[in-house]
Chain A
């Protein structure tokens, strides 16, 4: 008498998954997650408390192009504006654009990816086609072209442009995952006991994709911030909306690089890199917690 048994390759009993209640404490055990979260918190707090932390970034002072000093912690720009103040206020601008773009992109990718994956048939074919078209078109040129058209729409045009060019990759990933989940026995069981289709997608399938969605969202934020910086640097963003990218734009225009005014262009660049790192650490840390196999293990002696 034989039967296929569950694989008896030895596996660790899994620790409780970090979904549902009480996910924060196990997540904090991952050093990467904790570090990333701490760093992100610094930026978020800075963005929130911006106006109270620094002086008016747009105020022109008499100290033109000064290196960092007691009065101006990060020096001044060519026109006498306080770099530190600009940096702090830019945090808000950058984070807002990053979060908003990522949110819109993620929502669209969820609807297209999961919807298409579950519906199958013609709907899936159509949605797939749309995703593939957006994927195939080169990102940066598209962004540049569209930005050139809508320049002047302020922060929102940047947000929409970035969201438009970044949703497709995530949609593909979610579609693949949904296709896989659709044939799971618990989904089939829900069909057999008569659950409505939309409820199956929302209640049975979506919760199992949360981990991927969160991960995609985090990377979408990173992508949005970097793209925004690139757009701003190229002069395609609204210069009156202060972000680290626009700071770099102005710095470049004022030839800060060649004149050696490192205090103007290095801090914004570092901040972008640091924020990106923080988000990456959070994402990897979450992966570790959710999938024990990815945990960093000391090699046994």
Chain B
């Protein structure tokens, strides 16, 4: 079941004396109940803006966001259905209030509990569902008493309080210690299964995207450059940017000798001063062109989204495997 459908989402930010900055450019995708979609990209790719637009913190310039097939959704209903987990566990809780407050307010505002004992009981239930026990104790603590992992659990519980069908997780573990990241991601996964949530997992980490999401979308400078089943996209990336991401991630499967060889290859292949190249502003063509090792003349025109495998699409002129240099630029 399609929980959320996004069509041609575009977000522009006005700039003083200049053309508005297009942070998100005609992005379309769907979220399905019980499944995780990973949105992968570096900072500046627009992935956070997508999340903010979906949670209605930022108004889209163009495009539609439809909830469960309905034409338009009233604000209140939408907020109940779509919730968000923020990135920074140290900033997402109000230091002036207890943990209980953070859960009781959304429960009351969305009519999920009655004031008083009912709200407290439901808040404690939420705490138990994210493994923060003893719940009674936890409810009276203040954020400064909690570790990063515990805070993030509270943030997740808060997002679940209104009873959403869609959960937007904006880099939920990138500011946590490495050894607890998997616990939190596992928790999100479990909650998704238990409650049939549609989960959007925004991250810059390909490895966890692969392990926790069934589908992956890769974003670069506001556009989705590649999408498809996670194993496909990450193990056999077709877009040069995704290939660069995959190559850049440390992999302990690669031996040290192989890593050293790969490094030598990278250095040899790269001209000096190419740190400059990413600064170039492109016109209408492919945005990855300044950094792309396979850039061609055709790339001055915006490439079409091409099917490169079952359910696997790439925004690139390269049709065949890049190892052959046969390229179909006749589109």
**Chain A interface residues toward B at CB < 8 A:** 1-6, 14, 16-17, 19-20, 184-186, 188-196, 203-204, 207-208, 210
Contacts and interface: CB of A to CB of B under 8 A. Distances in A.
10 contacts: A17-B144, A189-B92, A189-B155, A191-B57, A193-B105, A193-B110, A193-B161, A195-B106, A207-B94, A208-B96
Nearest to B98: A20
Nearest to B111: A194
B186 interface: no
A248 to B, nearest CB: 43
Q: Tell me the interface secondary structure of chain B in the complex.
A: loop
B57 to A, nearest CB: 6
Given A14-B144, A19-B96, A194-B110, A189 B84 contact: yes
B156 to A, nearest CB: 11
B246 to A, nearest CB: 12
Contact of B109 (A184, A193, A207, A208): A193
Interface in B42-96: 55-57, 75-76, 79-80, 83-84, 86-88, 90-96
A3 B162 CA distance: 30
A235 B39 CA distance: 72
A1 B171 CA distance: 13
B83 A192 contact: yes
A192 B204 contact: no
A109 to B, nearest CB: 20
B206 to A, nearest CB: 8
Q: For A4, A16, A194, which residue has the most chain B Cβ atoms within 10 angstroms?
A: A194
Given A1-B207, A192-B55, A207 B79 contact: no
Interface in B151-191: 155, 158-159, 161-162, 171, 173-175, 177
A194 B96 contact: no
Given A192-B79, A193-B109, A207 B97 contact: yes
A192 B56 contact: yes
B2 to A, nearest CB: 21
Q: Tell me the interface secondary structure of chain A in the complex.
A: loop
Given A17-B95, A184-B91, A204-B94, A193 B175 contact: no
B106 A194 contact: yes
A196 B76 CA distance: 11
A210 B95 CA distance: 12
A16 B174 contact: no
A189 B96 contact: no
A185 B109 contact: no
Given A185-B86, A192-B79, A208 B94 contact: yes
Given A1-B207, A192-B79, A193-B110, A186 B250 contact: no
A203 B94 CA distance: 10
Contacts of A17: 95, 144
Nearest to B162: A193
Contacts of B250: 1
Contacts of A2: 204
B109 A189 contact: no
Q: For A5, A14, A193, A194, which residue has the most chain B Cβ atoms within 10 angstroms?
A: A193
Given A185-B87, A195-B109, A203-B97, 10 more contacts: A3-B173, A3-B174, A5-B177, A6-B148, A186-B94, A188-B86, A189-B92, A192-B83, A193-B161, A194-B80
